[in-house]
């Protein structure tokens, strides 16, 4: 009896597999999409946390890459003022590697985490918004289980991507679909020196649809898609003569 | 009880109460004299800014009678009630209502209604008649003292020594000799008071273009009621706007509290707006946030909604909330702005400059439409990589980086008390500051570096080696 009641209650949120695939944002690498159950669930908010103190830019970059992949509409970046002190403000010209022109941004600054979450809800309700990035200073304690469930409810009707960017790891429950810990990875070199392609070392720490894992992916700007980085293997030693057959 | 303040270099009495006036004290008497006469006198210091603020507040309250309220410091208000009196049942009823309410707030006030600002000024301060019939100001003012003419103290003193005591004595005098002695201001003020010369009041704020209001016999206290009334007023306002083909760009909601306080909420919109539901939502956000000083107290007896600024809006665009995406985004920006403030909801606009912090300007989203260029500046295909996040204030490195050559690539440095080791770099990209702007800013050399700990930084060295000032290093942004 009680179980029936629970299933009736949860029926509002449960989705069929076909819907799940429809709502998923396909990232690119097959291994990643399979674990995510057909892509990133658009009906849930996703958390992105930098792996270390100095990975703030990379974590924001991963959020922008996901936003760019979700469509060509506006991207709303809501930032707590304290977060801007720590990690700088979003820079319009820096969206170029993700194919996000400066005219597509709507930047919002808030004083409190509560305002940030409110602005996220409002933005997610707006048609024409592709993705909403909410950046919280510190661990963002305000975005707890209740707050993230509220965001999930808003996301039920929309195809926008809701991304929660925490500046520090927060220990505690939340209703997010996935939680990613992002660090910079060594991208492929073009042989001319320099930093190489844009690459992320992703650790999937929480996944509501499957197991977790870690991958190194690179961002392909031209196709707006992720690709798995080849696993680095030791280069063949050059000084040794080829082995006799 | 008297109020004293510094006038010029002297401490003079600036206000006296009835008891002090009965003792023979008057405004303008030196404080030292008054103290000598009555050692037990209680004296309070004059606070001009508080007086001004109170006058402003009363002026705000007077908006319930007319949209055109002018201040006449230090102690007066001028109301232009042209076309407003009949709303209160006639001039004498308006006059009575105004004075009764002010008296209830605890103010001793006098008021007079006349054709001209000057006549009303003189009669309110010195006259016995309170309502002058049209054209009757000449007779009404004849017996009033000269100080009713809004002249400098020296001119009045001069006129008194010449034997003139009342305004009526000036009516039939030849003008030239007095103008030569006291200046033309004397006749100008007299002509203004008599209506021979036009005078407009300088209102505190411009009269809004469209106004709807509702007054209540029983004051509203509950927030829900206010929201319902706001919605009703918004519906009436949209009808008015629709008739004229206008849309609101700035809206003000005025809540007149029973005790005289007036709360004013202003909301801007990024495009002309004529949608009652959306107008309501703009104010709901403001009224329901904690930081709004909403305090109903004894309740509100008048709620007014004004469209302060309007723009042409074609009828085809009715129903903004279900329009296309750009409109939806504009609505979003308006709602966010209404709660967070204009400076916190921004759109980006690329500028034709190489200075990184100026190359992408952030403008309030509501203003972006006016400033949007017809076409984007041609893209600079040679532009180097730019970081995703930029510090609004470049952050200095803790030390001068270790490098192969003084002006070479930094290899090791400290930033935020952590040592960073560079594993890959791009640059330098030299950006010279704009000499034509006048200020001498040093040239910057930008490096994009990848560090061992995963930091992807945009460093720059400000200044060149070999110059007078030692170059300094900064982190300007973070790359993805």
Over the stretch B302-325, which tens digit does the pLDDT of each residue have? 889 988 888 887 765 544 444 577
Domain span including residue B37: 2-46
Tell me how far apart the terminal alpha carbons of chain A are, to the nearest angstrom.
73
Q: What pLDDT, on a 0 to 100 scale, did the predictor assign at position A7?
A: 41
Residue at B454 is within a domain: yes
Flag whether residue A95 sits within 8 Å of chain B, measured between CB atoms. Answer: yes
- Which percentage of chain B shows pLDDT scores above 90? 13
Give the gap in angstroms from C-alpha A77 to the nearest C-alpha of chain B: 10
pLDDT in tens, B269-299: 877 888 888 888 888 877 776 445 567 778 8
CB contact under 8 A, B329 and A126: yes
SS3 B46: coil
Asked if A166 and A48 touch (Cβ cutoff 8 Å), the reply is: yes
Residue at B199 is within a domain: no
Q: What pLDDT, on a 0 to 100 scale, did the predictor assign at position B291?
A: 47
Residue at B122 is within a domain: yes
Flag whether residue A211 sits within 8 Å of chain B, measured between CB atoms. Answer: no
Least confident range from A160-169, B146-155, B374-383, B463-472: namely B374-383
Q: Domain boundary residue among B304, B321, B338?
A: B338
Which residues, including other chains, have CB under 8 Å from residue B147's CB and lie 6 or more apart?
B125, B126, B156
Residue at B302 is within a domain: yes
Flag whether residue A187 sits within 8 Å of chain B, measured between CB atoms. Answer: no
Residue B279: give its domain's CATH number: 3.30.1490.100
ipTM associated with this complex:
0.85
Alpha carbon distance A38, B158 (integer Å): 95
List phi, psi (to 5°) of A104. Answer: -85, -10
- Cα–Cα distances (Å) from B52 to B2, B66, B318, in that order, read 18, 20, 44
Angle of CA points A96, A98, A101, to nearest 5°: 45
Alpha carbon distance B48, B57 (integer Å): 14
Q: What pLDDT, on a 0 to 100 scale, did the predictor assign at position B40?
A: 85
- Residue in chain B closest to A125 (alpha carbons) equals B332
CB contact under 8 A, B389 and A105: no
Residue at A236 is within a domain: no
- The pairing of strands A46-50 and A161-166 is parallel
DSSP letter at B85 equals: G
CB atoms within 10 A of CB B45: 10
- Residue in chain A closest to B347 (alpha carbons) equals A106
Query: Which pair of tokens denotes residue B171?
Result: 């009516």
Tell me how far apart the terminal alpha carbons of chain B are, to the nearest angstrom.
70
Residue at A244 is within a domain: no
CB contact under 8 A, A58 and B387: no
Alpha carbon distance B360, B238 (integer Å): 37
**Same domain as B245, residue B147:** no
**In chain A, residues 27-66 whose CB comes closer than 8 Å to chain B:** 51-58, 60-62, 64-65
Residue at A9 is within a domain: no
Residue at B162 is within a domain: yes
- State the average pLDDT for chain A: 85
Alpha carbon distance A99, A104 (integer Å): 10
Residue at A13 is within a domain: no
Average pLDDT over residues B111-134: 86
- The pairing of strands B246-257 and B76-79 is unpaired
Total tally of structural domains belonging to chain B = 4
Which chain A residues have a beta carbon less than 8 Å from that of B389? 56-57, 60, 87-91, 94
Which chain B residues have a beta carbon less than 8 Å from that of A123? 332, 336
Answer whether residue A20 shows pLDDT above 60. no
- Out of B332, B343, B456, name the one closest to residue A126 (CB): B332
Average pLDDT over residues B15-19: 83
Q: How does residue B380 score in pLDDT terms, banded at 50, 70 and 90?
A: low
Which residues on neighbouring strands pair with residue B212, listed in sequence order?
A: B305
**In chain B, residues 314-373 whose CB comes closer than 8 Å to chain A:** 324-326, 328-329, 331-333, 335-336, 339-340, 343-350, 356, 359-360, 362, 365
**Same domain as B55, residue B35:** no
Q: What pLDDT, on a 0 to 100 scale, did the predictor assign at position B370?
A: 65
Give the gap in angstroms from C-alpha B398 to the nearest C-alpha of chain A: 16
Average pLDDT over residues A207-231: 88
- Residue in chain A closest to B383 (alpha carbons) equals A93
**Same domain as B97, residue B78:** yes
**Same domain as B102, residue B30:** no
Torsion-angle region of B397 (φ positive above 0: left; ψ -120 to 50: alpha; else: beta)? beta
Residue at B374 is within a domain: no
**Same domain as B63, residue B189:** yes
**Same domain as B228, residue B172:** no
Torsion of Cα atoms, A11 then A12 then A13 then A14, to 10°: 30
Asked if A187 and A197 touch (Cβ cutoff 8 Å), the reply is: yes
Query: Which pair of tokens denotes residue B390?
Result: 């930029």
Residue at B352 is within a domain: no
Angle of CA points A148, A119, B303, to nearest 5°: 125
**Same domain as B431, residue B318:** no
Residue with tokens 């509220």: A150
Residue at A92 is within a domain: yes
Alpha carbon distance A100, A97 (integer Å): 8
**Same domain as B131, residue B101:** yes
Residue at B372 is within a domain: no
- Out of B326, B356, B454, name the one closest to residue A184 (CB): B454
Residue with tokens 């009404």: B140
pLDDT in tens, B83-108: 888 888 888 898 998 889 888 888 88
CB contact under 8 A, A94 and B331: no
**Same domain as B151, residue B25:** no
Domain span including residue A163: 20-228
Asked if A105 and A133 touch (Cβ cutoff 8 Å), the reply is: no
Element (H, E) at B99: helix B91-105
Q: What is the DSSP string of B102-169?
A: HHHHT------B-SSHHHHHHHHHH-S--BPPTT-HHHHHTTSBGGGG---HHHHHHHHHTT--BGGG
Residue at A234 is within a domain: no
Q: How does residue B59 score in pLDDT terms, banded at 50, 70 and 90?
A: confident
Flag whether residue A221 sits within 8 Å of chain B, measured between CB atoms. Answer: no
Total tally of structural domains belonging to chain A = 1
Give the gap in angstroms from C-alpha A95 to the nearest C-alpha of chain B: 6
Q: How does residue A129 score in pLDDT terms, banded at 50, 70 and 90?
A: very high
- Residue in chain A closest to B331 (alpha carbons) equals A126
Residue at A84 is within a domain: yes
pLDDT in tens, A165-201: 999 999 889 999 999 999 999 888 877 778 888 999 9
CB contact under 8 A, A102 and B348: yes
Residue A204: give its domain's CATH number: 3.40.50.300
Residue at A240 is within a domain: no
CB contact under 8 A, A87 and B478: yes
**Same domain as B15, residue B121:** no
CB contact under 8 A, A88 and B424: no
Which chain B residues have a beta carbon less than 8 Å from that of A61? 388, 479-480
**In chain A, residues 129-148 whose CB comes closer than 8 Å to chain B:** 129
Answer whether residue B439 shows pLDDT above 80. no
**Same domain as B305, residue B396:** no
Asked if B384 and B464 touch (Cβ cutoff 8 Å), the reply is: no
**Same domain as B147, residue B214:** no
CB contact under 8 A, B328 and A58: no
SS3 B317: helix
Alpha carbon distance A127, B157 (integer Å): 72
pLDDT in tens, A36-80: 988 899 999 999 999 988 999 999 999 999 999 998 889 999 999
């Amino acid at each position: 009896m009680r179980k029936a009641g629970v299933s009736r209650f949860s029926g509002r949120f449960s989705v069929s597999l076909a819907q799940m695939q429809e709502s998923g944002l396909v990232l690119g690498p097959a291994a990643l999409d399979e674990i995510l159950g057909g892509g990133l669930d658009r009906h849930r908010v996703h958390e992105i946390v930098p792996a270390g103190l100095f990975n703030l830019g990379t974590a924001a970059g991963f959020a922008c890459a996901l936003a760019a992949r979700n469509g060509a509409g506006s991207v709303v970046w809501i930032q707590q003022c304290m977060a801007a002190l720590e990690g700088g403000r979003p820079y319009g010209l820096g969206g170029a590697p993700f194919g996000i022109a400066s005219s597509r941004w709507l930047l919002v600054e808030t004083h409190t985490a509560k305002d940030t979450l409110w602005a996220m809800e409002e933005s997610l309700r707006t048609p024409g918004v592709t993705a909403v990035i909410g950046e919280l200073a510190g661990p963002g304690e305000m975005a707890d289980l209740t707050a993230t469930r509220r965001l999930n409810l808003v996301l039920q009707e929309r195809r926008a991507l809701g991304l929660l960017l925490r500046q520090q790891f927060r220990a505690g429950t939340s209703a997010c679909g996935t939680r990613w810990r992002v660090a910079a990875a060594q991208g492929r070199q073009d042989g001319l020196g320099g930093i190489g392609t844009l690459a992320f070392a992703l650790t999937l720490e929480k996944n509501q649809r499957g197991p977790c894992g870690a991958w190194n992916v690179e961002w392909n700007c031209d196709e707006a898609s992720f690709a798995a980085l080849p696993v680095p293997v030791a280069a063949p030693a050059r000084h040794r003569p080829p082995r006799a057959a | 009880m008297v109020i004293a303040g510094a006038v010029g270099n002297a401490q003079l009495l600036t206000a006296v109460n009835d008891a002090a006036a009965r003792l023979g004290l008057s405004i303008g008497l030196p404080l030292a004299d008054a103290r000598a006469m009555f050692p037990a006198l209680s004296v309070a210091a004059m606070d001009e800014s508080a007086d001004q603020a109170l006058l402003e507040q009363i002026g705000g309250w007077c908006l319930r009678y007319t949209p055109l309220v002018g201040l006449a410091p230090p102690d007066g208000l001028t109301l232009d009630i042209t076309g407003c009196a009949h709303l209160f049942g006639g001039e004498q009823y308006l006059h009575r209502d105004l004075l009764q309410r002010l008296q209830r707030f605890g103010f001793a006030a006098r008021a007079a209604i006349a054709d001209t600002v000057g006549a009303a000024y003189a009669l309110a301060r010195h006259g016995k008649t309170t309502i002058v019939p049209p054209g009757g100001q000449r007779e009404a003012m004849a017996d009033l003292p000269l100080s009713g003419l809004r002249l400098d103290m020296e001119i009045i003193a001069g006129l008194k020594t010449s034997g003139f005591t009342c305004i009526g004595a000036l009516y039939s005098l030849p003008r030239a000799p007095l103008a030569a002695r006291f200046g033309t201001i004397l006749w100008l003020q007299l002509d203004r008071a008599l209506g021979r010369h036009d005078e407009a009041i300088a209102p505190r704020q411009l009269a809004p273009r469209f106004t709807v209001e509702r007054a209540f016999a029983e004051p509203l206290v509950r927030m829900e009621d206010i929201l319902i009334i706001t919605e009703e007023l918004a519906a009436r306002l949209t009808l008015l706007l629709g008739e004229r083909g206008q849309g609101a760009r700035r809206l003000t909601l005025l809540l007149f509290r029973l005790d005289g306080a007036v709360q004013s909420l202003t909301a801007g919109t990024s495009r002309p707006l004529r949608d009652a539901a959306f107008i309501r939502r703009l104010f709901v956000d403001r009224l329901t946030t904690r930081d709004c000083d909403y305090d109903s107290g004894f309740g509100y007896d008048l709620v007014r909604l004004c469209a302060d600024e309007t723009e042409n809006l074609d009828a085809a665009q009715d129903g903004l909330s279900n329009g296309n995406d750009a409109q939806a985004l504009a609505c979003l920006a308006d709602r966010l702005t209404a709660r967070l403030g204009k400076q916190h909801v921004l759109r980006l606009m690329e500028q034709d400059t190489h200075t990184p912090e100026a190359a992408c300007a952030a403008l309030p989203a509501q203003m972006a439409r006016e400033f949007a260029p017809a076409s984007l500046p041609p893209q600079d295909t040679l532009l180097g990589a730019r970081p995703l996040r930029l510090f609004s204030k470049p952050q200095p490195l803790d030390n001068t980086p270790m490098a192969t050559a003084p002006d070479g690539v930094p290899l090791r440095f400290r930033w935020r008390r952590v040592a960073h080791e560079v594993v890959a770099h791009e640059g330098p990209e030299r950006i010279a500051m704009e000499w034509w702007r006048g200020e001498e800013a040093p040239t910057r050399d930008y490096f994009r570096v990848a560090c061992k700990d995963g930091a992807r930084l945009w460093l720059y060295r400000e200044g060149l080696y070999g110059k007078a000032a030692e170059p300094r290093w900064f982190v300007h942004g973070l790359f993805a």
